[in-house]
Structure 1
Amino acid sequence: MNDFTAVVADIGGTNTRVALTQGTKIRRDTIRRFRNAENTGIEPILTHYLAELQESPEAVCVDMAGPVQDGVGQLTNLDWRVETDRLGATTGAKTVAVLNDLQAMGHALAHIGDDSMQQLLPGQPSGSRRSDVRLVVNVGTGLNIAPVYHSQGLTIVPPSEAGHISLPPQTGQEMRLLDWLAERHDTPSFEEVLSGRGLERLYAFMCREDGTGTPLPAADIMAAFGEGQDRAVRTLRLFVRFTGRYCSDVALITLPFGGIYLVGGVMRHVGPHLMDLGFGEAFADKGRFSDYMAQFPVQLMTDDYAPLAGCAGHLAEQMGLVH
């Protein structure tokens, strides 16, 4: 594959990370972090970055936490608008792209190694064909999925809003939870329990069930879990049960024989404990389809720079340099 120089950027809620690439590889020594609060948009960040490194990239790709349509993206939690025309004018690049951050994760799968993954369930892989469907599941500030398809030399990562699938209770406790959530949210969805705020809601519900206790922020819940506090442990078990169930539900829709990849801020903290807390059992709990579920490998993605790699991979495809 021919090498090319590109600048890639990952806009998060608080910081933006920028790097140069050599082909599809991120040059780790060029990664810089910029505070969003100190900038008015992505353009001044890229201008400063390229001036510092004295580079003129052939291509630029930016991923962001927000919807993207026709080359225009709007940050969900930041008053920034990202447009391909302005990115091209700012950088001088001829090939320009804007991706949703979850789409960037999907594009990254073909460009990161096994050392960036922690295997949770081995599955029964049908081979290493890139044509196998893969599925990214993001549990962070919100909940969503990104199915990843490969066809005719291109990676296709369509958008979705699958975090808003209705939450189905299966036990008496879950029915009480649904009633409790319905008092606060008209139609409780999986995102109401599988997200940072969702973890807090589950803990608050446990306080109500116990008739005592004070709701806690997510960081304090994880700290209490680390100390073995009973209510926090029960909260995490319920959280993981819903995680396994959600992953199995969306797997039956997309049939990701190439693997399921868990990402997101909450997963970075909960991920190492998933198997001990019952993820495998919840994932397989599909009645007569339990054996079928064993086909799907499940991995925890541990590479913090995966979105940047996804941007680089997407640009290489756009330039016709990988197939």
Structure 2
Amino acid sequence: MSDPLLLVADVGGTNTRVALAEGARVRPDTIRRYANREFANLAPVLRRYREDHPGPDPDGACVAVAGPVADGRAELTNLDWSIDTARLLQATGASRGAILNDLQAQGHALGHLPADLCRPVIDVAGMPGASRLVIGVGTGFNAAPVHDTPIGRFVPPCEAGHANLPIRTEAELRLCNFVSTAHGFPAVEDVLSGRGLEQVYRWLSSEDGSDAEYLAADIMAHIDTDPRAEASVRHFIRILGTVAGNLALIHLPLGGVFLVGGVARAMQPYLSTMGFADAFRDKGRFAGFMSNFPVHLVTDDFAALTGCAAHLCDGQAAR
């Protein structure tokens, strides 16, 4: 019996990537990227893809979106788009469909990614069959626990990026106050995201009596020549370690923590040298317990597409 033909999509704030999959295997030759600004909503993107890739209707369709999902409907956080299961099926011609939060899709991808695309950050042995945790750091911040059960994988949605920013030091309190002044409620996402890294740089500039600022890409590009850029990344990584450690204690992912997203990948060269592991384990009398959690960085930029396909293959889709 051949694997089912599936249509999968990963909807970000700027671009949407669409592909075909055979079972849980995404076909790299079918991946296409569309600029969201050229479309009024997601359904026209999917119809365009079907025009660009004519052929039989897919057996199933699944999209991952950067925003909350409830009752088969998604509202994108950073884009004035929405999608529901009925429109998804109509736009793709599929007989069954599913809509996931993007971090849920990343959770469904675990176990289906090549081993060389999951690089160790804290290299300890995970517990087979135990819960895992995906943490996304990119345009925004979010997390999703991953539970494998006798009736299939369960990846509940979460909005961890909108929880309060933790404070461990006097300097972090000043950063928190700076972010509060600029944006109101100081949430995790206000620091641990692309725009958050820019906030950290602006805060350090203000501490020096300067109004200098950089875009996130420029901060990363100047890390070896600009001490303020280096300090921004160091603060970012230590706060990321603190937040990841907090989430590990909440969810107990003894099977491993998996960092995903463009900003997380950009931080890869510095995670081991700028204090991520120390901050992750800095939990007082539970510091020793924190050594039970392996941490990996997922470098596969198309993992959400794989997760969509794996979700459909697990039979969790509406007809």
Could you tell me which amino acid in structure 1 is paired with residue 36 of structure 2? N
Q: Secondary structure at the match of 2:279?
A: helix
Q: Work out the CA distance in 1 between the residues paired with 2:24 and 2:194.
A: 32
Aligned to 1:37: 37
User: Is structure 2 residue 256 aligned with structure 1 residue 263?
Assistant: no
- Matched to 1:144, the amino acid is N
Q: 1:231 to 1:314 in 2, by over 3 A?
A: same
Kindly indicate whether residue 97 of structure 2 is the aligned counterpart of residue 93 of structure 1: no
Structure 1 residue 257: Cα displacement: 0.6
Letter in 1 for 2:165: L
Query: Contact conserved, 1:95 with 1:319, CA < 8 A, in 2?
Result: no
* Alignment pair present for 1:6 and 2:3: no
For 1:134 and 1:174, the matched residues in 2 are separated by 29
Give the whole-Å Cα distance in 1 for the aligned partners of 2:210 and 2:82.
45
Which residue matches 2:235? 238
Q: Secondary structure, in 3 states, of the residue corresponding to 1:110?
A: coil
| 4+ residue runs over 4 A deviation | none
Provide Cα deviations, 1:207-249, integer angstroms capped at 9, x if missing partner.
1222335122212211111x33111111111111101000001
Write the letter of the residue equivalent to 1:88: L
SS in 1 for 2:222: helix
Corresponding position of 1:50: 50
Gap runs ≥5 in structure 2:
none
Give the stretch that moved more between structures: 10-19 or 159-168.
159-168
Query: Counterparts in 2 of 1:276-295, with a 5 A limit?
Result: 276-295=273-292
Secondary structure of the 2:78 match is: coil
Task: Give the letter aligned to residue 15 of structure 2.
Answer: N
Q: In the alignment, is the contact (CA less than 8 A) between 1:56 and 1:91 conserved in 2?
A: yes
Matches within 5 A, 1:16-31: 16-31=16-31
Amino acid of the structure 1 residue aligned with 2:304: P
Cα separation, 1, equivalents of 2:83 and 2:72? 8
Number of the residue aligned with 2:70: 69
Matching residue of 1:153? 151
- C-alpha deviation, 1:26, in angstroms: 0.6
Residues 153 and 317 in structure 1, CA contact (< 8 A), matched pair in contact too: no
After TM superposition, the score normalised by the length of structure 1 is 0.92
Cα distance between partner residues in 1 of 2:50 and 2:212: 49
Distance 1:212 1:81 in 2: 41
Equivalent pair of 1:166/1:188 in contact (CA under 8 Å)? yes
SS of 2:253's equivalent in the other structure is coil
Tell me the equivalent position of 1:316. 313
In structure 1, the gaps of 5 or more residues are none
- Asked if 2 retains the 8 angstrom alpha-carbon contact of 1:9 and 1:18, the reply is yes
Report whether the alignment pairs 1:305 with 2:305: no
The answer as to whether partners of 1:139 and 1:264 remain within 8 angstroms in 2 is yes
Moved more, 36-45 or 154-163: 36-45
Report the residue type matching 2:239 in the other structure: F
Q: How many residues get paired?
A: 316
Structure 2 contact 9–17 (Cα < 8 Å) conserved = yes
